């Protein structure tokens, strides 16, 4: 297959797939496929509820067509799979979305076709899990009748500076020739350039360690915050002082959620354990980061108790529910840990987040966000996400939401040290 012969389909139009399809759709014919009827309807109307792509950008993708009809995938000969790869309740990889997408493609797979995966997986998953599904459903043979590639996504939700085209792309293919074609396909839209990995497994491993490295570093800073809090030292002051050294890494403490940092390490540890190695540092970091919600609530409750604020039956406002600021992404948000832990103390919790879809919050977590907080109503306020709306409010407006005696916990260093009662 030559580059000019490529007929492209992007399977999965979420935070990763849609921006990719839009970039390709500015230059070539692309079929954007998703099983979600509502998603396809909204995209056809020029609306992206993830807010990753504007209506103007959708309009610029003149060669992009949307469909939920699997039969239309038959027109493509190169498929890019961008479906979610979450973890289950036991923190094990859930590859079922990837397997279903592979089955869908397998039904229309033809000789000479290429299937490129972008979803985060453990090293070996493409060839050990996805390819057998493609073979079974299509009846074709891998690397004889069809081929595969892997090019890990590097989307950062809510980031308007680092976009698909401006982030360097790792590419790979199941044969040298396919690897070159996969790289050439992405070079059409990636202005930051590409890096052709030595193999699919190398590309898979590179992706999964990117976020594992960040997770471990954040875990270290979280542990330091626990130590400094016991010593009565402000963590932010320490980090700012240490940050004057040129090679000090600027990580900050906090809750670690989202679709990448809080999930990807479990893919690597799963694979490591399957080959008989028990990861020590990675799992220790995960345990520490997953415990931070409980630590936040314990600090809040202790401080309320010291101030003789009745905890049981109190009203606490949690400002923010998304896993990061200025985006509507609720995937694996650890703010829910705070909400649930407060519930264990019989605290009445109001969650306020102007970015979230209330129906999605209810569906995913059973949380019904309030439309607006009531001034003077709260015994405790947890500033959990640094949305620009909260930053612009300032300390006076945030404090006005509390009762005359209340505790304000600033998780994201939105306020000056003297303006909050607690910080990580």
Q: Hey, is 342 helix, strand or coil? A: helix
User: DSSP characters for 317-333?
Assistant: EEE--SSSTTS---TT-
Angle at 411 between CA 329 and CA 269, to 5 degrees: 60
Angle at 156 between CA 181 and CA 386, to 5 degrees: 175
The catalytic position among 58, 179, 203, 260 is: 260
The dihedrals phi and psi of 85, each to the nearest 5 degrees, come to -130, 85
168, 136, 141, 140: which is closest to 154 by C-alpha? 168
Instruction: List Cβ<8 Å contacts ≥24 apart for 43-48.
Output: 43/13, 43/18, 48/18
32 - beta bridge partners? Answer: 10, 66
Is there a catalytic annotation at residue 327? no
User: Residue 306, Cβ neighbours under 10 Å: how many?
Assistant: 9
> Terminal CA-to-CA distance of the chain, rounded, Å?
55
Question: Could you list the active site residues?
Answer: 260
């Amino acid at each position: 297959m030559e580059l000019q012969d490529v007929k492209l389909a992007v399977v999965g139009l979420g935070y990763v797939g849609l921006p990719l399809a839009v970039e390709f759709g500015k230059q070539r014919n692309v079929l954007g496929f998703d099983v979600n009827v509502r998603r396809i309807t909204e995209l056809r109307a020029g609306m992206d509820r993830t807010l990753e792509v504007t209506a103007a950008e959708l309009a610029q993708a003149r060669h992009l067509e949307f469909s939920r009809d699997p039969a239309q995938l038959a027109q493509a000969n190169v498929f890019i799979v961008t479906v979610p790869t979450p973890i289950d309740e036991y923190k094990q990889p859930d590859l079922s979305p990837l397997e279903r997408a592979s089955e869908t493609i397998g039904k229309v797979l033809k000789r000479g076709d290429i299937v490129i995966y972008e979803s985060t997986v453990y090293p070996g998953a493409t060839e050990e899990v996805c390819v057998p599904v493609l073979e079974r459903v299509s009846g074709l043979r891998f690397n004889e009748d069809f081929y595969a590639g892997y090019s890990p996504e590097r989307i950062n939700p809510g980031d308007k500076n680092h976009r698909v085209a401006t982030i360097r792309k790792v590419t790979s293919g199941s044969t040298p020739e396919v690897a070159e074609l996969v790289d050439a396909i992405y070079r059409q839209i990636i202005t930051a350039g590409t890096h052709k990995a030595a193999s699919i497994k190398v590309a898979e491993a590179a992706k999964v360690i990117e976020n594992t490295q960040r997770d471990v570093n954040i875990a270290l800073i979280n542990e330091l915050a626990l130590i400094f809090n016991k010593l009565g030292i402000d963590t932010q002051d320490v980090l700012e002082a240490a940050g004057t050294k040129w090679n000090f890494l600027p990580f900050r403490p906090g809750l670690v959620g989202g679709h990448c940092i809080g999930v990807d390490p479990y893919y690597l540890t799963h694979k490591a354990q399957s080959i008989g190695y028990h990861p020590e540092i990675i799992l220790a970091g995960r345990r520490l980061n997953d415990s931070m919600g409980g630590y936040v609530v314990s600090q809040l409750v202790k401080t309320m108790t010291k101030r003789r604020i009745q905890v049981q039956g109190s009203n606490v406002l949690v400002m923010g529910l998304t896993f990061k600021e200025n985006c509507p992404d609720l995937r694996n948000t650890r703010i829910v840990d705070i909400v649930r832990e407060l519930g264990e103390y019989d605290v009445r919790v109001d969650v306020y987040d102007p970015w979230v879809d209330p129906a999605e919050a209810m569906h995913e977590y059973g949380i019904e966000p309030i439309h607006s907080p009531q001034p003077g109503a709260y015994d405790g306020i947890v500033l959990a996400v640094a949305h620009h709306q909260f930053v612009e409010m300032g300390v006076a407006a945030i404090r006005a939401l509390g009762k005359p005696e209340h505790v304000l916990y600033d998780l994201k260093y939105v306020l000056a040290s003297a303006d909050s009662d607690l910080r990580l």
